[in-house]
Amino acid sequence: MTLTLRSSTSFINLKDTKTLKTPDEFSTVICSAKIKPSCRLRAKSSMQEAQLSRDKQLTKQGLGRSEIKEKLHELSVAHQNGNESSVPVFVMLPLDTVTQGGHLNKPRAMNASLMALKSVGVEGVMVDAWWGLVEKDGPLKYNWEGYAELIQMVQKHGLKLQVVMSFHQCGGNVGDSCSIPLPPWVLEEISKDPDLVYTDRSGRRNPEYISLGCDTIPVLKGRTPIQVYSDFMRSFRDTFRDYLGRAVVEIQVGMGPCGELRYPSYPESNGTWRFPGIGEFQCYDKVTCELHWQHQQRRLIKRTGEEVGRTILGSTINFLKIQAFFGEMVPGTPSMDKFFLEWYSENLLKHGDRILAAAKGIFQGTGANLSGKVAGIHWHHKTRSHAAESTAGYYNTRHRDGYLPIARMFSKHGVILNFTCMEMRDREQPDHANCSPEGLVRQVKMATKTAGTELAGENALERYDASAYAQVMTTSRSDSGNGLSAFTYLRMNKKLFEGDNWRNLVEFVKSMSDGGRRTRLPECDSIGSNLYVGFVKEKKEKKIKEAALV
């Protein structure tokens, strides 16, 4: 099938008109791959229900019991092996998909774009549900209108939707093409007490996300941040209950800047950070110091005695410069870096645990999967200290796996771990940055496999070339650790629909539906599936004979 579009204008830039243009009115030729059924993420408890549903559908088609059994067997065979299973591909929608006024942005252009994505076998799309837009008018005043328009449109095209509960600010990071701050009433509270947000050693405040130190304090008009996030998610659930598990198949829970479970250690706004800097620790706000260091003080005093403990604690509260922090410790004292990094990373884990526990309680039983994102901080990954990862809250060193505790926390709540930088190769990175995205991905794949949690992936940067797609296909397989259960491509824009970029995406989607590789049929029927060379040849010869008779 070929979809012909006559227009030099991209889908994304189409101007709204009174009538929706049909595909025949545009000028780009889109080569469409055959749409294949993809195996979407499913909760274990819903597998039997899904099989019964397929059974009923096949019965309606007039198939006998033996034929139904064969069809279902073919589906299970096609997806039972991690190396050969289909990997559904989603595409991220623009950050400004919903306008500041709460409406769907450029609905006609969106409609045409979704139609094109569906035609080439894309499983669905991802959208950010911005806290700063939905709860903009005041506490507990939610406006889901624009998202309702989108969900209905996505469902109409037979696509699926991943929705991100985005409790962070949009703007100031890589790829941020628009500005969506936190809700005005939240910013008002921050202006009264700047210690509600993360702060570095120089006193710079970061308004991207509320500090985890405030998680259990009613600092937002009488509610704690965790309560505010829970109320937001509950409102979404109640508003779109009929779509959950059907059109809306996944809820990704934001847990930090850029929606990732991390500290905002490398902000790009105002030139604070530049690649490949190791970043700054984000624990200098008064709330974090006062709430959490009391426990650490008791712990340290218990270990070393009161006099030594208070001396070390005083030095740590004043915080050493980062260069000295990763250097040698004072002889005769406990390892200050180990003590600090344990506390720093443990608090991040507790933050994630609180939010995911709340999300699980809200969305459990709705049919929608839960996921969370972890950042792919690959620079300085080759060094002994892994300093860039450490400042972000991932205590990962040559002798300590910093991702296994995170994977176990995700597994505890049945949450899919979404990881970035799946498209990157080590040889593409500058030597001075000590990067190893491939090594980092391998480590995360092993951590999720050990923890028994599903792994999904994203590309970290906008890439349209075949080389990047090939790397994603390589990392999607379970050759080294966990295979990907889904992949979300960043991002839909005008470049995606241009010439080679579009052809590369079409080929990529087709390859991912084949398990990330070209597969050959077996020579004989060893598992009773009728999916083998001899059977296919026989069917082909039969069709030729039938055609000759006609």
**How far is the C-alpha of 125 from the C-alpha of 239, rounded, in Å?**
20
DSSP E strands in 32-104: the ranges are 89-92
Nearest to 421 by CA among 260, 534, 293, 310: 260
Q: Are 281 and 200 in contact (CB under 8 A)?
A: yes
The H-or-E segment that residue 126 falls in is strand 124-130
Does the active-site annotation cover 260? yes
Parallel/antiparallel/unpaired status of strands 248-253 and 369-374: parallel
Using left for φ > 0, alpha for ψ between -120 and 50, and beta otherwise, residue 5 falls in beta
**How far is the C-alpha of 314 from the C-alpha of 317, rounded, in Å?**
5
Both tokens of 352, joined, read 């994630």
**How far is the C-alpha of 183 from the C-alpha of 424, rounded, in Å?**
35
Q: Are 407 and 283 in contact (CB under 8 A)?
A: no
Q: Which residues contact 92 (CB under 8 A, 6 or more apart)?
A: 125, 126, 127, 458, 488, 489, 490, 491, 492
- Residue 103, SS3? coil
Looking at this protein, which amino acid is placed at residue 45? S
φ, ψ of residue 461 in degrees (nearest 5) = -125, 160
Q: Are 131 and 91 in contact (CB under 8 A)?
A: no
Which residue in the list 260, 280, 423, 454 is annotated as catalytic? 260
DSSP string over 152-213: HHHHHTT-EEEEEEE-S-BSSSTT--S-B-S-HHHHHHHHH-GGGEEE-TT--EEEEEE-GG
Which sequence positions are flagged as catalytic?
260, 458
